[in-house]
Structure 1
Amino acid sequence: MSIAELSFRDRPINMDAKGSRKWVYAKKPSGKWYRRRTLFSWFLLLFWIAVPWIRVNENPLILLDIANRKFIIFGAIFWAQDTFILALLMLSFVLFIVLFTVTFGRIWCGWACPQTIFLEMIFRKIEYLIEGDYKKRYKLDQGPWTGEKILKKTLKHGLFIFIAIAMTNVFLMWFTGSERWLELVREPFRQNLSGFIVMIVVSGVFYWIYSFFREQVCTMVCPYGRMQGVLLDSNSIVVSYDYKRGEPRGTKNEGDCIDCHQCVSVCPTGIDIRNGTQLECINCTACIDQCNKIMHITNKAPGLIRYASEKTIKEGHASVWNTRNRAYSVVLLVIFSFFIYTFVSRPVIETTILRTPGLLFQENGDNTISNVYNLTIVNKTHEEMPLEIRLLSHKGRIQMAGNSMIVKDQGRFESTFILFIPKEELNSDKTEVEFGIFNNNELIETYKATFVSP
């Protein structure tokens, strides 16, 4: 190959030698794999829209309430006290992505990544519908501003803005819940001006990404494409060109590749898959469908471009499992099992008892010393719990600020109490005391705190 032919390794394909943007005009894809991706994308989009409205035990299926430090994942509620459990879940997810990438390449990017789904299955489909396929779009963009061009661009970008705003509001429901979102919609926007401004800004970012920045998110911003250089090996299944079957290229040569460049014309990032694995490739399968059409026309077997590993093409070796896959699988299994154990065995309530800041001990006339404490109890069950706090380690009494301790299901109880301990029970200026939280006279949790005395 000449140096010019190898320039694809020097810079992203959508950038010229001076570093300027080159717009990619991809041909509208069609075929078996594209239909499969479309159906899968519809399922993911429906799931994304429906999640805030689905209820499990009167709670959203998924809620990421960062402001209140409350997270609901498939009906299971995690509070700030469950950070360790959430960290295990996130680590398991990251390891799953790593294992999946090692085995199946960037299939996440082509099939499940929100950037790909929104761009390819929503925004590009609108673009194809209004402006036509790649040749018509290129001609329209390069041509003068006629009435037809103004009409088409206005209609397209108007729909893009509307969809960007709708996307922002759906994402908002994932963080606030559908009930709170409905309240925000009904209220005058002046009451939530800061939130309204944030929504407009985020919508503007979405509009800019899918109208102008587009595939550069994958080729220039997303770190996942660069990770594949570390994660992939010769056993990883990726969208591959069968060079043993396709070379030498050309209609008069012996190889099956007729060098028609149809695989390039349909690629949303503009690469030539025949050059091998590249960071711009998102494994979207568009080139597979297009090449199979050419193979059908030329009466050759499909699969010149297909899902395959380097070892499969070179040696006919089809197995994807190796020592690295097995090692990742074992680590993932251990960590996820630990997550399941910690989740199942976590206490039904989470108690925090801390001395009230800024207050010292109090000497009382009945020969007792008192300290004031702040009490917080989080109920992690779906049942209302009447609770009682008792002192386990010493003789003494507790005076609550209220008359009862009833914690609603998935609720939080906060109160203040005073602990009185006789002086003869105290041997130092700082004494460790232990409290017990009881539900119907059954001890369900203990908590230790410090008692300060003269």
Structure 2
Amino acid sequence: MSGLLVAEESGKRRWMYPLVRKGTYYKWRNLLSYVYLIFFFTGPFLRIDGQPLLMLNFVDRQFVLLGQVFWPQDIFLFMLASLVFLVCIVLFTIAFGRIFCGWICPQTIFMEMVFRKIEIWIEGDANKRKKLDAGPWTKEKIIKKTVKHQLFIVVSFLIANTFLAYIIGSQGLIRIITEPINKHWVGFFSIWVFTIVFYLVYSQVRELVCTLICPYGRLQSVLIDQHTLVVAYNDVRGEPRGKLERVPNLLNPKGDCVDCGLCVAVCPTGIDIRKGTQIDCINCTVCIDACDEVMDKIHKPRKLIGFFSENMIRRGEKPSFNTRMMAYTAVITVLLGVLSYFVLSRSDMDITVMRSAGMLYQQQPGGYISNIYNAEIINKTDKSRTIAIRADDPSIQIKYIQAPGTIASGGAVKAVFFILVPESKIHAAKTDIHLQLISGQRVIQTVNTAFIGPIND
């Protein structure tokens, strides 16, 4: 189906010139897009406790979410969060189809609410744009095309800078902008690569991202069923379609669809919603607005096209929270609970302590028994820390062979040390020892380890 939609019979690319109808859904999408765009362009510059709201620095392997810094050592949290996200997508698609694509997806928001508006402002509505593209290269056409593509490049440049800020941080972006280019060749080159990519996507590729490139549309066809709410045409009410008649034919009554074709004319992917659910439909709801407008004019009930499930159209059933959706909801609840537990219990620093393998205890002067240990300490904060290790029992001593010292932000150090326990406190072959990781005067973390010693009667 997709191939038929993007190509003419001659094999040439079929360009889309969707009409704009500003109905109820369009106004809500418009409002949502403003919120999204404000958040997108300000996100890298918003900070919580000095940290960005969101940063995904793959270069330095530093990730920040809502002011919380995550390092590669927290990769299991990202894996768990990704799993939760995927399950949420599955459940959402089962319930509401591909509405994410039409309402929240950055590709749709930038294409329809930014670049398309620029195009309409300069070149006019769909019919004028189509006529302009088909016409010869006059002075007017050259000026309009030049201005449009210059603005496209400017907007793409702004998006590229913001996108890069989400990767390297707003401070890194400001350094690239304010400092000499020869200090930031990679960053400068990256900005222009992103600019070119965004420009090509929104000026040339366009809806092909949704209909051919994005795998989510294919995933949708596997997940939706007769209970899924999607943008659909009520053919039971609308068929047989035909032009509006002044005198109704009682022997062969027609449906409510007057076959105006407006639902096809407004579709950004060029589908005919009356042919049923299609993987190219992004559930953007523009066809609902267009059809509602026509129904109002001919004094028919709205929602000939609307959010329907197959069972709602065929059987008149109401949407239901079925067993499959309940199962996915239960899975999401469990995963969110586990993820929340790990995030909330996550400490600023991690320490792993292991007794040296193959080493027995040693007798030490002063009535002490010693074991040798290795420790690895990871600093998960954005600041360097000077740390030390001590036992919670003041009678137990720590003697360093290799002290941990200062750990850089996101860094890790190893320590080697003896634990010396008074022989009088050892009453079993293994004794639990509680070690504290100290930064300044604050106890960061407490860990347990086993101490091997002689059995004293």
Q: Which residue of 2 aligns with 1:304?
A: 304
Cα separation, 2, equivalents of 1:314 and 1:124: 37
5+ residue gaps in structure 2?
246-252, 421-431, 451-457
Cα separation, 1, equivalents of 2:91 and 2:39: 24
Q: Which residue of 1 aligns with 2:321?
A: 321
Matched ranges for 1:145-224 at <5 A: 145-224=137-216
Distance 1:142 1:353, change over 3 A: farther
Deviations 1:246-279 (A, max 9, x none): 0010024521001010100110011100001001
Distance 1:354 1:174, change over 3 A: farther
Q: Which residue of 2 aligns with 1:230?
A: 222
Cα separation, 2, equivalents of 1:242 and 1:416: 68
Q: Indicate if the aligned counterparts of 1:352 and 1:447 stay in contact, CA closer than 8 A.
A: no
Distance 1:421 1:438, change over 3 A: closer
CA RMSD of aligned residues (A): 3.5
Deviations 1:374-427 (A, max 9, x none): 8543145x99966312489x987204568x55x68xx445556554699xxxxx
Query: What secondary structure sits across from 1:350 in the alignment?
Result: strand
Distance 1:354 1:288, change over 3 A: same
Query: What secondary structure sits across from 2:184 in the alignment?
Result: helix
What amino acid sits opposite 2:379 in the alignment? V
1:351 deviation in Å?
2.9
Q: Indicate if the aligned counterparts of 1:54 and 1:60 stay in contact, CA closer than 8 A.
A: yes
Q: Which residue of 1 aligns with 2:347?
A: 347
Q: Which residue of 2 aligns with 1:358?
A: none
1:99 deviation in Å?
0.7
Cα separation, 2, equivalents of 1:435 and 1:16: 74
Matched ranges for 1:74-89 at <5 A: 74-89=66-81
1:51 deviation in Å?
1.2
Structure 2 residue 37 is matched with structure 1 residue 68: no
Cα separation, 2, equivalents of 1:320 and 1:76: 38
Distance 1:169 1:79, change over 3 A: same
Deviations 1:216-248 (A, max 9, x none): 001110111111111101111111101011001
Distance 1:139 1:354, change over 3 A: farther
Q: Which residue of 2 aligns with 1:377?
A: 378
Distance 1:395 1:233, change over 3 A: same
Query: What secondary structure sits across from 2:5 in the alignment?
Result: coil
1:130 deviation in Å?
0.3
Give the TM-score taking structure 2 as reference length: 0.83
338-347 or 382-391, which moves further after superposition?
Answer: 382-391
Cα separation, 1, equivalents of 2:134 and 2:43: 42
What amino acid sits opposite 2:74 in the alignment? D
1:41 deviation in Å?
0.7
Q: Indicate if the aligned counterparts of 1:78 and 1:86 stay in contact, CA closer than 8 A.
A: no
1:205 deviation in Å?
0.9
5+ residue gaps in structure 1?
1-8, 356-360, 423-432, 450-454
Query: What secondary structure sits across from 1:306 in the alignment?
Result: strand
Q: Which residue of 2 aligns with 1:388?
A: 388
Distance 1:447 1:223, change over 3 A: farther
Q: Indicate if the aligned counterparts of 1:26 and 1:266 stay in contact, CA closer than 8 A.
A: yes
Q: Indicate if the aligned counterparts of 2:176 and 2:187 stay in contact, CA closer than 8 A.
A: no
Q: Which residue of 2 aligns with 1:244?
A: 236
Q: Indicate if the aligned counterparts of 1:351 and 1:447 stay in contact, CA closer than 8 A.
A: no
Q: Indicate if the aligned counterparts of 1:292 and 1:303 stay in contact, CA closer than 8 A.
A: yes
Cα separation, 2, equivalents of 1:77 and 1:10: 42
What amino acid sits opposite 1:378 in the alignment? N
Q: Percent identity?
A: 41
1:345 deviation in Å?
2.2
Structure 2 residue 20 is matched with structure 1 residue 28: yes
1:193 deviation in Å?
1.3
What amino acid sits opposite 2:331 in the alignment? V
Distance 1:123 1:385, change over 3 A: same
Distance 1:102 1:415, change over 3 A: closer
1:109 deviation in Å?
0.4
Cα separation, 1, equivalents of 2:143 and 2:346: 60
Give the TM-score taking structure 1 as reference length: 0.83
Q: Which residue of 1 aligns with 2:273?
A: 273
Deviations 1:170-220 (A, max 9, x none): 011111111221111111112111221222112111101100110000111
Q: Indicate if the aligned counterparts of 1:28 and 1:128 stay in contact, CA closer than 8 A.
A: no
Query: What secondary structure sits across from 2:257 in the alignment?
Result: coil
Q: Which residue of 1 aligns with 2:437?
A: 438
Distance 1:63 1:345, change over 3 A: same
Structure 2 residue 135 is matched with structure 1 residue 134: no
Q: Indicate if the aligned counterparts of 1:59 and 1:75 stay in contact, CA closer than 8 A.
A: yes
Q: Indicate if the aligned counterparts of 2:266 and 2:286 stay in contact, CA closer than 8 A.
A: yes
